[in-house]
A = this chain, B = another copy of it.
Amino acid sequence: MESAIPKNLECPRTRARRVADSYVPPYPAYTARALPALERVVMGYFGVQASGAEAQLKSQAALTTIVRGFADTDGPGHHDLAHFVDAAGYDNRIAIAYWRDPVAFARWRSHSDGWWQADERLHEDIGFFREIISPGVEHFETLYNSVDRLEGVGAIMGGVSREIQEHAYWGAARDRIPLAQSDALEPSRPRTMLGNDSAPPGARVRIAGHEHVTIIRSGQDWTETDGKERELYLRQMEPVLREGMEFLRDQGDKVGCYSNRYMRHIDAAGRPLEKTFGLSHWHSLSNLEAWAESHPTHLAIFGGFMRMVQELEFQLKLRLYHEVSILNVGEQEYEYINCHPATGMMRGIAI
């Protein structure tokens, strides 16, 4: 067993871990590892938004255009496609792309930027958005219940830990974040709007995040499950997971959650896969922790999961993972083109 914090990022703790050195978690978990040379990654969420059947066809075509751009020189090392319908009833498709090299991303971006900046984007009957974050390696953590086929940022990091110690207790995510060894990760000022040319829809809006905005992507893959496990997941766990996701989507503002999307993976043709994830943006890690630890919907999710793993004697075919990033001001960029005003980080800001 080893610490989730990589050796090269260890520093003298001014903030104690929640658990003693003798703590042994009840089941194994792993974190993605990179070579020490990796200092920063880029995670790009490129979205299209549409309402109505005809616009959805256009939106799937636009997604395909975006994905085609990933094949360019300096394109991402990994990407996923996902779909969800938001609270306003809009159909949203997102390509999530991961770069191991921020310089390669900058070059890729300089090629693709023209298309995003073009005035035409404002005059199609679909919306577009880019949410691009670039956390340093001290600013994010990952967790997986299996060591092969890592999802998300783990797919580009190139390695995986042995069993880690910091998991299966509340506060473990914080204990896995290298920066939290010496920093409370408190948030600063509120979000601000950087400028828009008119009110949405039909506008180009940019939002500035604040210090320590926290983003979690937390996923589940039930492709390989069968029998009792599949039944437990689909009949018992998924409904409580959905209830929690809908609470955050609809009432997240009460608990410091700016935006939540409960998304289903799709293939390149737009067909659903047996994988979902929640993607949410938070005012702070503390807010995310408080919701996870005390809200009945999340306690039902976590308690249901613990009951399920015990019933299955810790032998899961269900694949679970998450990645949590804590962002500096300059590591976040949110741009919404022709999107409705409750989209992503625009939600709750007077535009």
Contact = CB atoms under 8 A, between A and B. Distances in A.
Contact of A20 (B186, B304, B307, B310): B186
Contacts of A16: 14-16, 184
A177 to B, nearest CB: 14
Interface string A162-201: 0000001111000000000000101000000000000000
A115 interface: no
A108 interface: no
Contact of A170 (B171, B286, B296): B171
A310 B293 contact: no
Interface string A272-299: 0000000000000010011001111001
A300 interface: yes
Q: In the assembly, how many copies of this chain are there?
A: 2
A265 to B, nearest CB: 28
A268 interface: no
Contacts of A171: 18, 170-171
B293 A299 contact: no
Interface residues of A, number: 30
A197 to B, nearest CB: 36
A203 to B, nearest CB: 34
Contact of A306 (B20, B168, B295, B306): B295
Interface string A108-140: 000000000000000000000000000000000
B300 A303 contact: yes
A22 interface: yes
A172 to B, nearest CB: 10
Interface of A: 14-16, 18-20, 22-23, 26, 168-171, 184, 186, 286, 289-290, 293-296, 299-300, 302-304, 306-307, 310
What 3 A-B pairs come out closest when comparing CB atoms? A299-B303, A296-B307, A170-B170
5 contacts: A20-B286, A22-B186, A26-B294, A168-B294, A294-B306
